[in-house]
Amino acid sequence: MFQRVRSEIRVIFERDPAAQSVLEILFCYPGFHAIHFHRAAHWLWKRNVKLLARFLSHVSRFLTGIEIHPGAVIGDGFFIDHGMGVVIGETAEIGKNVTMYHGVTLGGTSWQKGKRHPTIEDNVIIGANASILGPIRVGENSKIGSGSVVNKEVPSHSTVVGIPGRVVFREGNVYQDPTGVAGTPDPEGKALKCLTEQVRALEERLDDVMKRLDEGTDMPRVESKR
């Protein structure tokens, strides 16, 4: 147990440059507290002491703002940064060395019993307020952009952004987007840029038409296609 605590403290120092001391982590990191509450609740859940497990999970939610169902399976090296508003469903599975920011939801899309929540493989980073919904798999070493809504399988080594989530970066190929920072694509911005270019082209054509009318120049005929 103490070895696991030391390992999780080391993980926080590695991934959060704001961490100043071990005491700060022990007393001031809700993600650290939530994970240890979950370890105890999950132990009870596996031994069929489900009411007490749910109560412990509820206490953890009240104290930390992080809701993790005691049935969820979480691997080593899991780090929740800030954490407020995180929701992890009953059948969610989280691999090793996963990083999750505040407001993330690992939710279900069905009321049927069975596997309803996502499986997150090793070394995945999930940005703030992202939602991953349904019994889908997010491949290892992938990144989910902040605010994304993901409802389809995500291949390994991918970056997903948008609503619905779209793969915009894969297998180390840097995505260069003039509407965003290199490696941080902005599909909505790109679409707006295309629309702006089309509007500008229409304005130029309209200016040309108005100029011809002012000069009394015959307008070119456009044959209708039937």
Give the CA count within 13 Å in the CB-facing half-sphere of 40. 13
Domains in the chain, number: 2
191 and 178 housed in the same domain: no
Could you give the strand order of the β-sheet that contains 143-144, starting from the edge strand earlier in sequence?
Answer: 79-80, 99-100, 125-126, 143-144, 158-161, 166-170
Residue 162 burial (CB < 10 Å; 0-12/13-18/19+)? middle
The residue with tokens 């929740």 is: 80
87 and 100 co-located in one domain: yes
DSSP assignments along 44-63, one per residue: HHHTT-HHHHHHHHHHHHHH
Residue 152's Cβ-side half-sphere holds a number of Cα atoms within 13 Å equal to: 10
Do 99 and 111 have their domain in common?
A: yes
Closest CA to 160 of 142, 137, 182: 142
How far apart, in whole angstroms, are the C-alpha atoms of residue 97 and residue 120? 10
pLDDT surpasses 60 at 154:
yes
Nearest residue to 64 (alpha-carbon basis) of 42, 86, 79: 86
- The structure's pTM equals 0.72
Between 1-5, 140-144, 201-205, the lowest mean confidence (pLDDT) is in 1-5
164/212 same-domain check: no
* Whether residues 170 and 89 fall in one domain: yes
Domain holding 31, by residue range, is 2-182
Q: Which residue has the tokens 């798999």?
A: 137
Q: Could you tell me the two tokens for 44?
A: 């009870």
Mean pLDDT computed over every residue of the chain: 85
Mean pLDDT of 82-99: 92
| pLDDT above 70: residue 114 | yes
Please tell me whether residues 21 and 126 are part of one structural domain.
yes
Q: What type of residue is 125?
A: I
Please state at what angle helix 30-46 crosses helix 2-15, rounded to 10 degrees: 140
Give yes or no: residues 124 and 44 share one domain. Answer: yes
Q: What is the mean pLDDT of residues 79-90?
A: 91
Task: Tell me what percent of the residues of the chain surpass a pLDDT of 90.
Answer: 46
Query: Are both 112 and 205 inside the same structural domain?
Result: no
Q: Are residues 157 and 191 in the same domain?
A: no
> Are residues 199 and 88 located together in one domain of the fold?
no
Mean pLDDT (whole number) for 195-221: 81
